[in-house]
Amino acid sequence: MKSISLYMHVHQPYRLRHYTIFDSGVNHDYFDAPWDNNENNKRVLLKVAEKSYLPTNARLLQLLNKYPEFKLSLSMSGVLLEQLEAWSPEALRSFQELVNTGRVELVAETYHHSLAFFYSRSEFETQVAMHKEIIKRIFNQEPKVFRNTELAYNNELAAWAQDAGYSGILAEGWHQMLGWRSPNYVYRPVGAPNIKLLLKNYRLSDDIAFRFGDHNWSEWPLTADKFVHWLSDDQDAEIFNLFMDYETFGEHQWQESGIFEFLDHLPGYWLADSNHGFMTVSQAADTIEAVGEVDTPNTITWADTERDLSAWLGNAMQQQAISALYALEKPLLELNDWAIIDDWRKLQTSDHFYYMCIKWFNDGDIHAYFSPYDSPYEAYLNFMNAFHDLKSRLLDRGVLV
Amino acid sequence: MKVLMLGWELPPHNSGGLGVACYQLCEELSKNDVDLEFILPYEAEHNINFMKVTAARTDGILEIIKAGNAYDSYRYIYQDGHDEWHNLYEQAEFYEHAVGDMIKGLSFDVVHAHDWLTFRAALKVKALNRNIPIILHVHSIESDRAGGDLGNPLVREIEETAMLAADSVIAVSDLTKQKIVKEYNIPADKIEVIYNSIDRNSLQPSSPDNSYRYLMQLKQNGYKIVSNVGRITIQKGLTNLIHAAQIVCQKLPKTVFLLVGSGDQFNELVGLSAELGVGANVVFAGFQRGKSWRDSFSIADLFVMPSVSEPFGLTPLEAGFYGVPSLVSKQSGVSEVLSNCLVVDFWDVNEMANKIVGVLRSDALHDTLSSEIENELLSLSWEKPAKDVKRLYEKHTQGAEA
């Protein structure tokens, strides 16, 4: 039996508006860009809902109805769910309908899509708990498998997830970590024997997520038929972990690329062989035996050619910004003012640090595509001005920082 | 006395001190019965009634539009409807040809041109009429703007040729005069030093409600603010200021450096301040005018002008007007006229930090510098420089008038 484990990540940050030092200490509306600006979060969300969430969910629901063996997993950040609730109840409902089929599993993560694990364990745990709560409230499901922001993963995180009771954890199947081994099996992390490690097959996943619409790619055009042939021909596999951003469908790969037709046909072609199936991530963790141990002392992620945290924390501006932010943690939490805490957490979202990345010349196009800023320097200054305002609000309340 | 002024910018469309100096000098000259026509490279509203301001425009061109400041590209709209973009160098050539066309119907006694962008036009006038005296006013030379390097050889050639051909050269400081002699071999007796000044009436008083609310808050919590206002470019020596900031913040963590201005070194300095770990202590406010510009001075406990090469440097005088003491580089013309300020070599980062800490730590030093510079400013005006300039005009026109 060979299975596909399709897992898609759904997320939108709260982007900052253009925010200057003259706003710091005066206006606290960092996330409220005017409607006609590209940073307006409602506008972005409605656009993505229209181009991606609604059409993709409609197809996924059809596929779930048509093929009883079809299953998939989703992770949805808390900040995304908030925005859907506020601005696109229609799109939120379409996600609920998917989950109601009983064959869509939700994956645990931090509510704020943050890198808190690397800066504050208690803040990290709070955000995981908040995420669990909103998933329960909106979908009435309890996640069993954990994924960290940007699939940032190491041995320590695996041990934490095991102790927190998760049966599985997701990571990048990076060849430099795996060596000769294949991501198409299930593994155990070093130091965490009771949790299963599910590794993204990045070649196959990126064929869909990144290369699908690339006319210069030798395999273009990629059809579901061809893709299923590749998988069928691979004798050396138990599971194909296809992990990608949900927005691949309709947003990163536009409708004109044929990405929806690919999705429409993939389950049918795959299931034509009775020896083929689909699994959610927890099913894979529960039913597939681990073939070995994987040691990951250094953090790996699913981004860039380095597969490390350098896209978020690689340069001095990023490090300065994030450490300044987490330095506020103690006094800020002690104040117990929800509005301030909420803004602080929204600033923790990894996207803000991603916009400050200066590795433009290698991975540049992808960074530039996702950034609302003209340059990483602008991104840093804008963020720091918002940080200054948080600090100002603490000073207003008599907290010395 | 009729004078044709050739200049590149005037407030409120200026990007820095050059426009301010031209404006205030011309205003004072007009009070001394000098009849001025000022030719600019662009068209804009200036609301000036003491002289005639015209745009350099040749036949066939309908409109010239500045894209950003006076040193960015310009958009030319032609009468036949098409438009073209021209860079600064092309623009200087267009300006030269336009001035050559325009003077045909004009009569005047002297041509007074400000900085290299207008020097070719001044030479053009000389070529058309050898009897008109040409006075070149040097607010900066290419090596100043290049921050210590020689700079663009094409620009240097224009400066050298024009100054050799000119009847007189005005330098805004002795520092500048010495550089002109040394770099271009211009005879020293042809160069007159006439210092810039400040028109205190042009400055509005600061108001207590400062626009930097966050920085005010920090001040109430014991923070000190060090500010700089100016273009963010290599000439201004801000790299050294950021390095000094790192040392200062080790001694006095409650210090914020406020950098107000825009320019080509912006990204570099933003990155550098983060690299040095003072990202939260260095605030970039961008280019400011009006109230927020005044507030950028008045909020400061100390103003620092660390320029690598500053022919004059008006900002310490402006800071003084707002009661703020200054630390200026020895490589600035203003340090020749201002007594009540601290000076430092632009490259001496440790000493720069030392002096910054000194002022921030000592109220006595701060208050003395602040009150003394305010007194000193009372004696400064454009009256004397304008009289000196007029005397120079007269020296060259005596023969013509006789």
Rounded CA separation A5/B366 (Å): 69
Q: Is A329's pLDDT higher than 60?
A: yes
Q: How far is it, in rounded angstroms, from Cα B145 to Cα B16? A: 13
**Tally of domains within chain A:** 2
Which of A18, A19, A22 is the best residue to mutate to test the B interface, defined by the most B CB atoms within 10 Å of its own CB? A22
Per-residue pLDDT at A368: 59
- Asked if A253 contacts A212 with a C-beta cutoff of 8 angstroms, the reply is yes
pLDDT category of residue A362 using cuts at 50, 70 and 90: very low
Whether residue A301 lies inside any domain: the answer is: no
DSSP summary character for residue B188? G
Whole-model pTM? 0.83
Of the candidate ranges B53-67, B141-155, B364-378, the one whose mean pLDDT is the lowest: B53-67
Residue B268: closest C-alpha in chain A: A377
- Which chain B residue's Cα is nearest to A391? B214
CATH number of B201-378: 3.40.50.2000
pLDDT at residue A400, as a whole number: 76
Q: Where are the domains of chain B?
A: 2-197+382-401, 201-378
Lowest mean pLDDT among B52-61, B106-115, B191-200, B342-351: B52-61
A299 within a domain of the structure (yes/no)? no
Q: Residue A401: inside a domain, yes or no? A: no
pLDDT category at A361 given cuts 50, 70, 90 is very low
**Is residue A125 classed exposed, middle or buried when 0-12, 13-18 and 19+ CB atoms within 10 A define those classes?**
middle
Same domain, yes or no: A36 and A139: yes
Residues of A annotated as part of the active site: 150
Domain that holds residue A82: 2-294
Residue A118 in domain: yes
Q: What's residue A180's pLDDT?
A: 92
Residues A360 and A284 in one domain: no
Residue A261 maps to a domain: yes
Of A137-141, B20-24, B103-107, where does mean pLDDT reach its minimum?
A: B103-107
- Which tens digit of pLDDT belongs to each residue from A277-307? 999 999 999 999 999 999 999 999 998 888 9
- For chain A, say whether B129 makes contact (Cβ under 8 Å): no
Collect all residues of chain A within an 8 Å Cβ-Cβ radius of residue B284: 21, 381
Quick one: A236 and A281 in the same domain? yes
Where does the pLDDT of residue B61 fall: very low under 50, low under 70, confident under 90, or very high at 90 and above?
Answer: confident
Percent of chain B with pLDDT over 90: 77
Closest residue of A to B259, CA-based? Answer: A21
Query: B278 to chain A: nearest residue by CA?
Result: A320
Which residues of chain A does B283 touch, with a Cβ-Cβ cutoff of 8 Å? 21, 384, 388
Which of the four pLDDT bands, split at 50, 70 and 90, describes residue B44? confident
* C-beta atoms of B274 and A315 within 8 A: yes
pLDDT confidence tier of residue A333, bands split at 50, 70 and 90: very high
- Supply the pLDDT for residue B401: 46
Shared-domain flag, residues A289 and A316 = no
Question: Could you tell me if A254 and A318 lie in one domain?
Answer: no
User: In this structure, are A284 and A337 located in the same domain?
Assistant: no
Contact A22 B212 (CB under 8 A): yes
Last residue in a domain, options A260, A294, A328? A294
Percent of chain A with pLDDT over 70: 98
The 3 state secondary structure assigned to chain A is CEEEEEEEEECCCCCCCCCCCCCCCCCCCCCCCCCCCCCCHHHHHHHHHHHHHHHHHHHHHHHHHHCCCCCEEEEECHHHHHHHHHHCHHHHHHHHHHHHCCCEEECECCCCCECHHHCCHHHHHHHHHHHHHHHHHHHCCCCCEECCHHHCECHHHHHHHHHCCCCEEEEECCHHHHCCCCCCCEEEECCCCCCEEEEECHHHHHHHHCCCCCCCCCCCCCCHHHHHHHHHHCCCCCEEEEEEEHHHECCCECHHHCHHHHHHHHHHHHHCCCCEEECCHHHHHHHCCEEEEECCCCCECCCCCCCCCHHHHCCHHHHHHHHHHHHCHHHHHHHCCHHHHHHHHHHCEHHHHHCCCCCHHHHHHHHHHHCCCCCHHHHHHHHHHHHHHHHHHHHHCCCCC
Mutation choice for A interface testing from B284, B294, B299 by most A CBs within 10 A: B284
Minimum mean pLDDT range among A56-65, B146-155, B186-195: B146-155
**Which residues in chain A have their CB less than 8 angstroms from residue B221's CB?**
395, 400
Residue A369 lies in a domain: yes
Sequence-separated (6 or more) residues with CB below 8 Å from residue B3: B29, B34, B35, B36, B37, B108, B109, B110, B111, B112, B393
Quick one: closest CA in B to A387, which residue? B280
Give the pLDDT mean for A339-353.
97
B277 touches chain A (CB under 8 A): yes
Residue where a domain terminates, one of A241, A264, A294: A294
- The answer to whether residue A346 is domain-embedded is yes
Q: Which residues of A touch B292 (CB under 8 A)?
A: 22
Residue B262, classed as helix, strand or coil, is coil
Identify all chain B residues contacting A326, using CB atoms and an 8 Å cutoff.
none
pLDDT category at B42 given cuts 50, 70, 90 is: confident
Using beta carbons and an 8 Å cutoff, which residues of A are at the interface with B? 20-22, 24-26, 315-317, 319-321, 324, 358, 375, 377, 380-381, 384, 387-389, 391-392, 395-396, 400
Q: How far is CA B226 from CA B181, B198, B282, in A?
A: 36, 22, 9
Instruction: Give the residue from A294, A326, A355 where a domain finishes.
Output: A294
Q: Do A316 and B277 touch (CB under 8 A)?
A: yes
The predicted structure's pLDDT at residue B366: 93
Starting at the edge strand found earlier in the chain, the sheet holding B255-260 runs B282-286, B255-260, B224-229, B302-305, B326-329, B342-344
We report the CATH number of the domain holding residue A90 as 3.20.110.20
Clarify whether residues A67 and A104 are in a common domain: yes
- Whether B201-378 and B2-197+382-401 are alike in CATH topology: the answer is yes
Q: How confident is the model at residue B67 (pLDDT cuts 50, 70, 90)?
A: low
- Co-location of A262 and A388 in the same domain: no
Are residues A101 and A18 located together in one domain of the fold? Answer: yes
> Measuring CA to CA, how many Å separate A54 from each of A89, A252, A338, B249, B366?
11, 15, 32, 52, 64
Q: Best mutation site among A19, A20, A21 for testing chain B: the one with the most B CBs within 10 Å?
A: A21
Whether residues A335 and A243 fall in one domain:
no
pLDDT of residue A367: 57
What mean pLDDT, rounded, does chain B reach? 92
Residue in B209, B211, B214, B260 to test binding to A, most A beta-carbons within 10 Å: B214
Query: Between A22, A319, A395, which is nearest B211 by CB?
Result: A22
Strands B191-193 and B61-66: unpaired
Average pLDDT over residues B31-43: 94
Nearest to B277 among A24, A320, A395 (CB): A320
Neighbour-count burial of A141, counting CB atoms closer than 10 A to its CB (0-12 exposed, 13-18 middle, 19+ buried): middle
- The answer to whether residues A318 and A227 belong to one domain is no
What is d(CA B364, CA A111) in angstroms, rounded to the nearest whole number?
53
Chain A positions touching B258 (Cβ under 8 A) are: 21
**Residues on chain A touching B286 (C-beta within 8 angstroms):** 20
pLDDT at residue B70, rounded to an integer: 67
For residues A70 and A208, membership in a common domain is answered with: yes
Q: A167-171, A178-182, B144-148, B225-229: which range is least confident on average?
A: B144-148
Task: List the single residue in B with minimal CA-CA distance to A388.
Answer: B214
CATH, range B2-197+382-401: 3.40.50.2000
